[in-house]
Structure formats: C-alpha cells, structure tokens
Structure 1
Amino acid sequence: MKLPDSAVDSTRPGLVMIQVDGLSRPELALALERGEMPFLKRLLRRESCKLHTMYSGLPAATPAVQAELFYGVRTAVPAFSFRSSGSGKLVRMYEPEAAEQVEARLEQEGEPLLAQGSAYSDNFTGGAAEAHFCPAALGWGPSIRAANPNATFLLLITNLYSLVRILVLLPVELVLALVDFGRGLAKGRNFLKELKFVPTRVAICILLRELCVIGGRIDINRGLPIIHINLLGYDEQSHRRGPASRFAHWTLKGIDDAIARLWRAAHSAPGRHYDVWIYSDHGQHHASSYHKLQGYSVKEAVDLVLAGLETRSGPAPGGAPETVETHRVRLLGGGRFQRLFSVFQSGPDSEELQVASLGPVAFVYPPGDLGATQRVFLASELVRAHGVPVAITRDQKGALRAWTATGEFALPRDTASLFGRSHPFVAELPDDLARLCNHPEAGELVLLGWHAGAKPITFAEENGSHAGATPQETTAFALLPSDTLLPDRPRDYLRPLDLREAALQHLGRRSFAPRNKRIQVVEKPSRQLRIVTYNVHSCIGMDGKLSARRIARVIARTQPDIVALQELDVGRSRSGHENQAQVIAHYLTMEHHFHPVIHVENEQYGDAILSHLPMRLVKAACLPPVPGPGSRREPRGAVWVAVEVMGTEIQVINTHLGLWPGERLRQVQELLGRNWLGHPDCQGPVILCGDFNATPGSAVCRMLRARLDDAQIELASHRPRNTFSSNIPAARIDHIFLGGGVEVTAIDTPQSQLARLASDHRPLVATLKLPVAMPDTSAMSSTSGAPAQEPGSKVAS
C-alpha cells in the first residue's frame, strides 16, 4: 500500500483506542449480561481490565467528546447542529466544511492527541497523520489508487477473515434491513426514509466496520504510536430503533468481534507494546419525536410564538424534521457516494428565523436581537403552549434563566433542581450547562428535550437521541487495563479530559502525579500476605520482545506484598544495559534486594526480592556447584530477607536451582543446612520460593516437603497449576514452600495474554495466612527503624 512503517524503538508503548459510539454503561451492562459481548466479558474476567464510568460532558455528542479527548477543549461545539458564526448558516457536524472549521480552531487551542497516528470514522482527525472515513478525509481512495494490483491482492489475502465476514454478513444484514424496512412501513413510517436506511444499515454495520478493522490491523503492524477507531453501528441503529432495541443490540455482537480482532492484533504486534482502551463517547436515551407529539416542528412552534399566536391550531402539519440516519454511509467516500446519499444541504438560508434542531438540544436564532421581555415571552410560551420541556435564555451578562412546565429556574444555581439531585453527575452539570448555553454559536434560546420528571423528547425524527443531560445520555464507560495510570481527580468517574491525560502519560508525552499507584492497596484480612515468585527470563517474552515494564505490569496486576524474581539482568548489553531489578521495583513502588550470581565487569545476572513492606537483607550468596568434570555450569544462588509484618519478622528465601539433578540435590542440601533454613535466625514463619527446575515428584521436592509444606498441595480443593512454559504450561517447576505455621488460602497463576507473553514462565501467586501467635523478633526494628505495618497497608514511595 506504500504506507511507511513507524521507525521507533520496539520497546516504546503504543495505544489503540476503540470508541463504541453511543453505548451507555447501562446498555453495556445489559449486553454483557445477555452474552452479546463475550470478548469484553472475557477482558473483565481474565485480562485484568477494569470498567470505569465516564461522564461525557455537555453536549453529550461525539464532536464535543472527541474535541475534549483529542484537543483538551471542553464544549467545543454547543450541539451536533448549530449556526456557524462565520458563515451565518446552519451546519451539521457530519459536513466536511463544518468539521474542518471547528478543528482548525481546536488546533490553535490544544495539542492533538493523535499526532503521528491514525483515525478511523471520527468527527475530527485529532491531528492524525492519516485519517480515514472522517468528514474531512473520506475513504481509502488515495491509498488504494497508489497501491499496485499485487499489493491490493495481498491486502485481501492477509485480511481474508474480514473479507469473508463482509461477503457473508452483507446479505444477512441486507435481509434484516429489509425486514426492518417492512416493519417501518407497517407502522406508517415514511417510505423514502425507510428505504434510505437499508443501505445505511448495511454499509455502517458491516462494510465500514470491517474496513476500519482492516485499516487498524495494518496500522498496528506498521507500529503507529496511537490508533483511534470509532465503531458506529450501535449508535446508528439506536437512532433508528432505540438504544434498547433488538436491532441495536444485534450490532454489538459484530462490534465485540471487531474489538477482539483488533485486540489480538495489538497483542501480537511486531513493533510496539500496545495497550487497547475501549470506551464510549456517550449514551443514548429512548425519546419521542417532538414532531409526532405536537403535529408540527419546533421551528413552526417558534414561528407561532413570534407571530403572537397562542394556540396550536394555527400551523398546518409541516414536513418531518431532520434525521442523522443516512449521512454516515457517505463516509465510505467518493463523489458517487456523496451524490447517491445526499443529505440536508446547508446552503444560504433564505428565512430570517433559523432553528437548529438535530437531537434533544435545539437553538433558536430569531431575526434581529430580541429584548429581554421578548425572550422571556418566547421561552415561557414554548414551554406553556407548545410542549417544549425546557427553554433557556441568557442576558447580556451571560446570566441564564430556564422555564419548564413546573416553574422558573436560575442557572447554574438551580441546575440540580432542574435535572434532579440524584443525577450521577450533578456536581459537574452546572458548569457544563453554562458553557453550552453561553457558547458563542448557541442561539438566543436554548431548548432542551428533558428535565427531571419529564419524558425525554427529541426535535429530530428518531427513536434514540443524545446530546442532552439525561443520565443515560451522559453515562459512558471506559474499559482500561487495571494498572492504567489515571490523573488525580476529585471524583470516582472519568471524563474525556482524564482519558486524554492518561493517554498522553501512557505515550510518554505527559507526566503527572497519578491518583492510583502501580500497586493498589488491597484490603486483606488481618495477617494475610500475598507473595509472587516469577522467573522473568531477563524480561524477554515469548514474542522475543524485551520489556521490564511489561513484566512489572504482570506483577502489579497480582497486587503482591512480596515479589521473588529470578533471571534478572543488570547492565547487560543484551538487555540494553538496563537495571531490570531497579526498573521493576520503581514501577511497583517497592524496595528491592538484588543478588548477582554472575558478575563480569559491569554486567550482572541474578535474583531479587521486592516488597513495599519493611525488610532487611539477611544473606545473599551463591549455592555450591557440583565438583568434578562438567561443573562449568551456570552459577546458582539464593537471597534471604526478613520482612516485617505487624512488628514481627517473616523469613523469605528466593532461589533458582540448577538444571541437572545432581547439582539440584546438592543445592537443596545446602538450603536445608545450617547456613540457610537450619540457621538459628531462620525461625518462625518461613517462605522458600523460586524456580527449582524440579517437578513435584523429583527427589528435590520430596526432600523439601519433608521439612516444609508445598503451598499448591496444601490448599484444599485446589488442583496444582503448571507454570512452565507460559504459553502452554506443561510443568510445575516454580514452587512456594511454607513453614512455621504459615497457611495458604489461595493460589493463582495469571491467565492473561500479557502473562502468557511477558516471560517463558507464568508467575505463581499465593495468598498466605500468618500464624496468630508469631514470635516477637525486634531485630529488624532496631536495625531499620521502620514502623510495623499491616500487609498491603501502605505503598512505599
């Protein structure tokens, strides 16, 4: 395709952001419960992902959310449709000229998030070097035309699954669209509009989605730093049939499969280490059309009031209001598509009165300036006589007043009364509503389709709407890896600005003091401790990538108190001269003790113990090799630390034994002798762990079980789990042995894709219960001066 690769260090992080347009968190929860999105359910269950609530802000519309995410600008547009202050024309944000004008202003106000990356099916390009199927950059025409036939053929072959899906699902979706068309006609809907929705549904739900997946996978393999993909199918169906409709939820199954393919491509990328973030920009609310309820449009209602009429009998039924159902198919690009699916043109308006009413937010632009008395009369009459739920005026100083059928409100002071004190985002609504109403391109009157206690309406011809302030419209979600660093904020939920800052931090373009540490405090019962033993294979994964950061992320997700690591490089050329023990400890906000078993000039290789609890090094030494011929084998060693828990000490020994049975027996005899486990200081609770290179039935393990308990065997109703190799675990050679009354309450070996890739071993995690009466050993307190701590009670800086 003649597309350049991203020439970067393969250890650099990358980010794939997938937007599920219009899917609220409540509808997501329903889809997960019904099994409509099995891959997302798997991410929550097995891949250490966390589901966050996200507040969309106002207006709850894609252009406003993407402007805040891509450029850090809140309320960049007042709604999806408004009057441009430059041209004086009504514009809609799917129009290329309108999108370009707004984005040109955004580029002057904030750093573009998608710089050097790509964007698919977005309102704005976000500063992306390559944008496809966006209003300002339609289709793939230039890339396809630039490619030779062989490249195009290879493109089809390497994306055969997507091609087959298109060929199979297009006729299926066409049949469903025709069924939907018939149902629409049976309910008395407009024939031409129903007919237009047939190709729209097929193109958006299948063709555009598959093209975005193909493009996203290409960009992942090229190593672009950030890729943003907007999947539109659910939002399109929700507008047409409602957010809870079967047709809307049917599209979620295809979206879930698309996410799965992008996620797998990201986690097998040859270049970067990609995170995949899945989020929605807003939700949708089932709404009734104002035109159907009143028999005339909101513009005609404004005409009546301005003419001084007070009844509804005046206007003849007018034409149906606008809809957004057919514009998105035009994103496939090309002049033919534009002409075939032409939508509302925004040429010079001949009428003096202008009303932008594409959704539950409408703006009234009356001829000339209205006086204060006229504005009040217009707002109150629209509410009283014409069924508009909320009408808001502003004076010359920006003060806002709102009228509803229940009374008058001063804004932003009375925002909680207007939208309900139980609204999940009541703390931020006043500021966002003021921004919306005082936007320079908002009308003299702002009309809203909902207030607390009212049934939602929309000023467009649709069954699902968004841009307003209902909880359903404003409650989006973000599904992120559990260890994603998020900025400090005075609330539990996110908003697009938070997601933006987290993305810039992840890409190394921003630095902030995160609210969440790498290791989160986990509330555990008294005297419980979590320990991890992990052979990290010099932080070289099964995919050949070198990444200490990836190892640290695997560990962080287990929420440990103590970490025993084997096969660490320090200063070695093969690992970029990095101090892996220090890097991992820093990432986990832990202290560490490292012992090199190999030390040649400035290069070291060995084992380490890390903890956020107070600890002191007792001993670190090599274990004896096997004498005689063939003894030139890799040196082995052990590290012994005393960890203080609640004023007493636990002895923790981490080791890595040899590959040959004879040397392992000699090394275990040494560990059981008076220099280690038999030492007078090694009393009370004791933990011996590491990579023993020995299976449970070996002589080595039998010797150790004669003195200590094997954690995996001692746990009742637990089937011991293998840890080597990580992709297909076939052997149990990593062990945790316990003594001195320590009990095991849980065992885990992480099954996530990250854990399968990061090393050739999987980590072994044990949750331990310490004995009730532990011997009081004050040696550590006198040595380190550190206070006693409960496991998991504090994260060391």
Structure 2
Amino acid sequence: MLSRIESRLRRWRRHFSRSEWMAKLLKLSRSDSHPNDHGLILIQIDGLAYPQLQKALANRKMRFLRRLIRKEHYHLQHLFPGVPSTTPAVQAELFYGVRAIVPAFGFMMRETQELVRMYDPKTATRVEEKLKACHTEPLLRGGSCYLSLFRAGTEDGEAHFCPASQGWGPALRDAGPITVLLVLLSNLWGFVRTGTLLLIESVLALVDSVRGIIAGQDLWRELMFVPTRVAVTILMRELCTFGVKIDIARGLPIVYVNFLGYDEQSHRRGPGSAFAHWTLKGIDNAISRVWRAAHRSQRRHYDVWIFSDHGQEYAQPYQERYGRSLADALAEVLAELPAKAQGFRSSGHQGVQLQRARLFGSEWIEKMIPSDQGETVHSESPLALAALGPVAMLYNVRLNGCSRADIARAVVEKAGVPLVLYKNGEGPDAPVAGWHLSGAVQLPRDGPRLLGDDHPFRDETAADLAQLCRHPDAGDFLMFGWCAGQEPMTFAVENGSHGGPGPNETNGFTLLPADIHTPAKGFWRAEDLRRAAHQFLQDSRLALPSPRSVGARTLRIMTYNVHSCLGMDGKYAPGRIARIIARYQPDVVALQELDVSRARSGGVDQAQQIAHYLEMEFQFHPAIHLEEERYGDAILSHLPMRLIKKGTLPGPPGLGSPGFLPGLNEPRGAVWVEITHNGEKIHLINTHLGLSKSERLRQIEALLGPRWLANPRCKDPKVLMGDFNTLPNSVEYNRLARRLHDAQLHAPGHRALGTFPSRMIQVRIDYVFIERHIRVTKIQVPRTELTRLASDHLPLIVDIELPLTSHNPC
C-alpha cells in the first residue's frame, strides 16, 4: 500500500517536475533506457585537496558531504592526480585513459612552436584530437559535460561551458523568446534564489577586494576579479546544477560537472582561506540538489561520485619574493653563460582566474575581461618560456658548448629556483637529472630526498616527475617552485598554486559509495575511476566489497523483507536489493517476499538473481506456488550451507489445505539450513508470519515445536529470524521471547530500532531471535536513501559471537 502511494506521488511529481518541463520546452532528447539501467553523475570539485576537505568537514562547511559519509555509506579516500597535477591531465586520464597528455596547463607545442594555455578553444581541440588518436572509448559517450576542457565523446550540444563550445548548448542558445520566457517563469524561484546569492557574493567580493587592495594587491585586477568571481562561483555553479538536473530527468547515462568556485578563490586567496572555504558551502548545497534529483529519477538508477582533480599549495609569487619576474631573472642568468640568446618569448606570469568567465561565451564578457592568453615577445629568438603556477619550462635553449648541468645549476643559484630538472639524452627512457640547492640530482634515485618523507605519494610522484621531463612537449629545462624543505613558490600572480609535485597539490580525494572497489594499491588515480565507471555502467554483476576483518567466531546475519524487490518508486529492482546487501557484507541473509517467475515482477527468479549478484548459494521455499509463479522466502550465504527443512506453516483456525487465498489467508512458510563457519555449525530458520493474531500464534507454536526448533536435529547454536508481523508488546512476541532472546534487546549500548515502514519508521516487526548463550556484538538498521527507497522494510543486521563451545556433535 505505502509503496503504491509513494509510486503515485512520484509519478505526479514527475509530471510537474521543472526539469522534465525544461527538457520538453527545449526539445531535448531523452534516453531510451530501462528504469533499472545504471546511470552515473561525476561531480568534480576543482582544486580541493584531501586535507582541505577534511578541514571543511570538521568545520561543517560541507554538511551534505558529511552526511554522505556518516549516513549514506560513502567512503572518503585519497586520489593521486599524477604530475602534472592539473585539470587537463586528470580529465584526459579520466575520459580517455591517457596519462599526462600535456606537460602543464600552459606549455609550448613543439610542432607549431606556439605558447598555449588549455583554456584556448583551439588548443583544447587540438589536444583532444591527440586523445582521439589513441583509439580509446571516451567515457562520456552518450552523456553530457559541464565545465570540462574536453568533450569526451559527448554529442553535439551536450558539452556546456567548455572551451570548444563556450556557453550553454544550442538548445538554450537557439530557443525562441516564448520558450525563454516559459523557462524563466517555470524557474522563477530558482532565479530569485540565484539573484539573491549573486547579490550576497557581490558584496563579499567587494569587501574581499578592498582587503586585497589594502594588502597591496593590484587595484585593476582586484576590481576585475569582483565580476568574474561572482560569475564563476555563483552563476556558473547554479546554471550547471540546473543543467545537470535536466539531464538526469532526460535519463542520460553519464553526466560530468566541474565546480570551479573553490579553485577560483583558492588561487586568489589561498587554499585554506575563509573566502575559499565559503564557496564550499555553496558547492555542498549544489551537490545535495543534484544527489536528490539523481535518487528521484524514474529513468535510471543513478550513482553520484564526487572527487577532486588535484589540490593546491599555499604559495608566494616569485615576483613578490625576488622583486622581478622569472623571465627577467632567466634572461640575466643566460646572458652570463655561453648558452645566451638574444631575447625570448614568454607566456607571461598572470594566472588563469580572469579567463574562466570567458566560458560563458558572451560578447560582453569578452570585451570586459582582457585576454591573458597571448605571448610576451621580446625578440624573434626561438627561446621560449612557459611559466604558470609552480612549474615553468624553458624551450629551445642553445647550449653552445655549455652543459645542461651548468645551466641548471646557474638557474638554481642565481635565479633562486628551488629545483631544475632536464632530460639527459634522447629517447623515451632517457635518464633524468637536474640541480637542487644541495647539488646535482637524478630521478628516481633522489626522489625521496627531493620530496621528503611526509609526501603522501612520494614514489609515484618521483616516477611521474621523471616521465614529465620526457614528455614530447616538455621544455628543455623544467623549473619547480617546490621541493622538500622549501617554502612553496609560484611563477604566477596567485596565492594558491598547483601543477607540480607538492604534497597538497598531488593529494586529491574521492567520495564514492563503499561498494565501489578501491584499487589494490589503496588509493585512486583518474584511470582507476574511469575503469570503475565503465564497470558500473556496463557490468551486470556487482563489484563485491573486500571481506570484512572479523574475529573467527563472529557471524553477521541480515534479515530483510524485500517486498518482491518493489521499491517505493514503483520499480522492481533485484539488483538494488543485492547492492544493499553487498554494502553490509553479511555472512547469512534471510530474505522474505521474493518473487520467482511472476509476471508482475518481470518473470525473473529474484532469489537466484540476487544470489548470482552476490556470489552466494541459496535455498528458497515457495509459500505460494501457483502454476509457474512462486512467492516465498530464502536464505543466502557464501558459507557452506546444508538444507535441513523447508515447509508450510499452519494457517488460521479452520483453514483447509494450504493454497493461494487472498488477504489474511495467504500461506506462510519457513526454511531451515545448517551453516558451517570456521568449523562451527549453526542452525538458522527464516520465516514470514501471517497478518492475523490467531494465525501467528499457531505458526509460532509450530516453529517452537518438534518439527522445527524443538527438533532433535536443531542443535545449538540456533537463530530464528524474519518478518514476524507483530509488535514487541504482543502475546506472540512474548511467547517467542520466553524461549529465545531478541537480539536488539541484548546488544550492549543499543536502543531497539524500528524497521517498518521504511519511509517513516514507526514499528518493529522484523526480528532476529537467538539462543541465550549467543552474544550480540553489534546491531545495524541502515536508514539510507537507498534502503528507504528499495523496499517498504529496512534491513536488520546482527553481528553475533558464537559460544566458545558448541553442542554440535563432532
């Protein structure tokens, strides 16, 4: 009844959904998917390091993400972005499986000798052509993306606010005035809310700019940062959230969105600054709205995965530390060596903050924001410098008999650069050498000394640094603003930087459901996320969690009325039930209300399908058997299992031979198995009792009698579990409690929790009854969005510790 009511409510909500109407108004296509197909939302929080996320969680800046970890079975783990620790490198690895496609965010293309940055549409397109030439399957094929540097397989019109397609897709750009008016009217509250946020953020941005000017920052850049900050942190975030919700309503298989606000503020004020962390509150709210839309979808079962592409280091600009630009310092150094050249080309030393607003694609933004993409040309010399963030690269250096080691040493000693590396030879495996304040270095041999013992990914970073120096588009000399023992330095005008090997910039995070397998190495890379995403979208089998670490005598039991796998959203989804079970890793599962070959649930064998997903054996008893259709209960386990008995329980007084009768007279049954766990045998009985009191009393007497629990074959330890359809103060319950212990009342420090109905828990009718000498160590009644959606009951999970000596015969 409750599921039917909620299913109807969901259908009505869908009819009046703004996202659904937007998709219709804009004439956007819908996915031809089955409601049980998987879908995936990838949310990237640009530039947020693992330690900064921990700080934000502790300070309650990200309450929704905190809830995901505490209540929704999400696990927070480390992500190593590799070196360079930049967005294009991570996105290329995620979307195409290609590591380090570019050596930095700004670099020189050797083929054309152009100094480029990845926000340039032509540059992003050319780099993606190289990725396509690798002939790997783009991750986002058939989906959409927001604020991505690459299209990643999305169709025309599905890449939004990207360099190659600035602004929203053509559906909104080409919409007529009536359509635009309807869009505005139907989302009036959303636009009022966004306008209010824009006003608040504008005031905060002005206050922040005044502080920056007082602190000595450039007046013009501070004033220009006000509108771009508001545009990127608020307007772009809200538009992207709006678009993602529409794409969820359309049922697209995969959607990627990148929230830039934190990275924008972090570059400007530092990764731990109050203004940077302020933006995390808005991002957290946007994620919560996307997550709720995903879990209400009628077209797919969506997962929401959250991650960052890299972190940032607090850094002092080179120009601020030394009073001159890196280009000027290098010109002076080279002038004193035989390798001197007449002038150079430089990509400048400004950051990228003012350029991101160009992704809106508006002409007034193009006019308002001065381009920072062009080169600074001091002569016709081929010598070129690409300096951005903590990495700078010097190209086309003519040695003129001077050794590379001499040049690297001079740059370190006279220009004050902490570390200079270079490829010492030709070929893909050429050795990598360099100079450090302590003298000559080689990689990977000196990686531990350069990176320090506290670096979270020391060996991996050292290996990536060596490969970076061998990159076809890397400079002849690579200069780094950070190494162990040195204060971080950036070659751009910014207070937070990334791109190099620092311990924070190479320490991203993932926040994924716990049943998504962590790589064996214990942390993620973007290529691991790519593999996991492909498996999630394409593989019908679950990625089972690693085995629990438990004591030899500990057994985890779950009882769960799955309501024919019919969720509160009206979907029959055995895979969803299996996923819930997999998350909690029980040793034994007792399931009630399973359909086998019933037309209403698609004709599938739900017991067999769930067992197949979980790689478990099962025993099923059909309480109802009508021609080919069956309905009943099952016990599943990965442990050795032997069927002892399965059978029908007595019906109400006066009922004749068992058969299918509607309403209260529905037949009931039980299934009894023997499990072997670490050499010990335990007997378990799963049942589902009737709806009338008299019927339940007869069934309980039968279960306590010589055919079941009092049977000589039913040795201790023994467990009786299932849906008893009775309350703890009832006569039926007390009859059972005189013989067995209610596990929920015998767990230390535990308050008994209800299991029904799943949406608004009121009563306790699902139980695990145990022998009195069995000790209960833990109870769980998971009340997550998934468990509240998948059935009208919640699962009850009981960890028991078997007695030191059992009464089982040898």
- State the TM bucket, normalised to the shorter chain: over 0.9
Q: Which moved more, 1:292-301 or 1:282-291?
A: 292-301
Counterparts in 2 of 1:621 and 1:730: CA distance versus 1, 3 Å = same
For residue 454 of structure 1, the aligned residue among 486, 489, 497 is 486
Alpha-carbon shift at residue 719 of structure 1 (Å): 2.7
Counterparts in 2 of 1:485 and 1:580: CA distance versus 1, 3 Å = farther
2:564 maps to 1:532: no
Alpha-carbon shift at residue 141 of structure 1 (Å): 5.7
Query: What does residue 793 of structure 1 align with?
Result: none
* Aligned-partner Cα distance in 1 for 2:143–2:697: 55
Counterparts in 2 of 1:158 and 1:498: CA distance versus 1, 3 Å = farther
Alpha-carbon shift at residue 649 of structure 1 (Å): 1.7
Counterparts in 2 of 1:739 and 1:606: CA distance versus 1, 3 Å = same
Is contact 1:501-1:510 (8 Å) kept?
no
* Aligned-partner Cα distance in 1 for 2:79–2:441: 27
For residue 572 of structure 1, the aligned residue among 568, 576, 598 is 598
Query: What does residue 392 of structure 1 align with?
Result: 421
Query: What does residue 375 of structure 1 align with?
Result: 404
Residue by residue over 1:713-771, the C-alpha shift from the partner in whole angstroms, topping out at 9 and shown as x without a partner, is: 33454332111111111121111111252232322210111110011100011122322
Q: Secondary structure at the match of 1:471?
A: coil
Counterparts in 2 of 1:562 and 1:158: CA distance versus 1, 3 Å = farther
* Aligned-partner Cα distance in 2 for 1:341–1:245: 25
Query: What does residue 15 of structure 1 align with?
Result: 40
Query: What does residue 788 of structure 1 align with?
Result: none
2:615 maps to 1:589: yes
* Aligned-partner Cα distance in 1 for 2:99–2:518: 19
Q: Secondary structure at the match of 2:550?
A: coil
Q: Which moved more, 1:381-390 or 1:573-582?
A: 573-582
AA matched with 1:101? R
2:786 maps to 1:760: no
AA matched with 2:55? L
Query: What does residue 91 of structure 1 align with?
Result: 116
Alpha-carbon shift at residue 657 of structure 1 (Å): 1.1
What's the TM-score, normalizing by structure 2?
0.91
Question: What is the number of residues matched between the two proteins?
Answer: 765
2:191 maps to 1:163: yes
Query: What does residue 783 of structure 1 align with?
Result: none
2:695 maps to 1:663: yes
AA matched with 2:570? G
Residue by residue over 1:546-591, the C-alpha shift from the partner in whole angstroms, topping out at 9 and shown as x without a partner, is: 2111111212222212110001122223222222212222322322
Is contact 2:333-2:415 (8 Å) kept?
no
* Aligned-partner Cα distance in 1 for 2:422–2:337: 20
2:267 maps to 1:245: no
AA matched with 1:247? F
Q: % of aligned pairs identical?
A: 50
Q: Secondary structure at the match of 1:326?
A: helix
2:387 maps to 1:357: yes
Query: What does residue 604 of structure 1 align with?
Result: 630
Counterparts in 2 of 1:340 and 1:708: CA distance versus 1, 3 Å = same
2:69 maps to 1:69: no
Is contact 2:330-2:411 (8 Å) kept?
yes
Is contact 2:347-2:376 (8 Å) kept?
no
* Aligned-partner Cα distance in 2 for 1:710–1:429: 54
Query: What does residue 529 of structure 2 align with?
Result: 499
Unaligned residue ranges in structure 2 (runs of 5+): 1-25
Q: Secondary structure at the match of 1:303?
A: helix
Counterparts in 2 of 1:220 and 1:695: CA distance versus 1, 3 Å = same
AA matched with 1:131? A
Counterparts in 2 of 1:678 and 1:161: CA distance versus 1, 3 Å = farther
Query: What does residue 51 of structure 1 align with?
Result: 76
AA matched with 2:730? S
Query: What does residue 444 of structure 2 align with?
Result: 412
Query: What does residue 266 of structure 1 align with?
Result: 294
Residue by residue over 1:644-688, the C-alpha shift from the partner in whole angstroms, topping out at 9 and shown as x without a partner, is: 233232111000112222222222221121111121111311111
Alpha-carbon shift at residue 319 of structure 1 (Å): 12
For residue 60 of structure 1, the aligned residue among 85, 95, 99 is 85
Alpha-carbon shift at residue 625 of structure 1 (Å): 2.4
For residue 133 of structure 1, the aligned residue among 124, 141, 161 is 161
AA matched with 1:142? P
Runs of 4+ in 1 over 6 A off after TM superposition: none
* Aligned-partner Cα distance in 1 for 2:620–2:169: 56
Residue by residue over 1:302-321, the C-alpha shift from the partner in whole angstroms, topping out at 9 and shown as x without a partner, is: 211222279xxxx9xx9982
* Aligned-partner Cα distance in 2 for 1:158–1:682: 65
Q: Secondary structure at the match of 2:538?
A: coil
For residue 674 of structure 1, the aligned residue among 693, 706, 716 is 706
Query: What does residue 211 of structure 1 align with?
Result: 239
Alpha-carbon shift at residue 354 of structure 1 (Å): 1.4
Counterparts in 2 of 1:146 and 1:660: CA distance versus 1, 3 Å = farther
For residue 112 of structure 1, the aligned residue among 127, 138, 155 is 138
Counterparts in 2 of 1:33 and 1:236: CA distance versus 1, 3 Å = same
AA matched with 1:580? Q
Q: Which moved more, 1:126-135 or 1:752-761?
A: 126-135
What's the TM-score, normalizing by structure 1?
0.92
2:741 maps to 1:709: yes
* Aligned-partner Cα distance in 1 for 2:64–2:740: 42
For residue 202 of structure 1, the aligned residue among 230, 234, 255 is 230
Alpha-carbon shift at residue 156 of structure 1 (Å): 4.1
2:654 maps to 1:622: no
* Aligned-partner Cα distance in 2 for 1:571–1:6: 28
AA matched with 2:320? K
* Aligned-partner Cα distance in 2 for 1:509–1:299: 52
AA matched with 1:373? C
2:208 maps to 1:180: yes
Q: Secondary structure at the match of 2:192?
A: helix
Q: Secondary structure at the match of 2:716?
A: coil
Q: Which moved more, 1:549-558 or 1:217-226?
A: 549-558
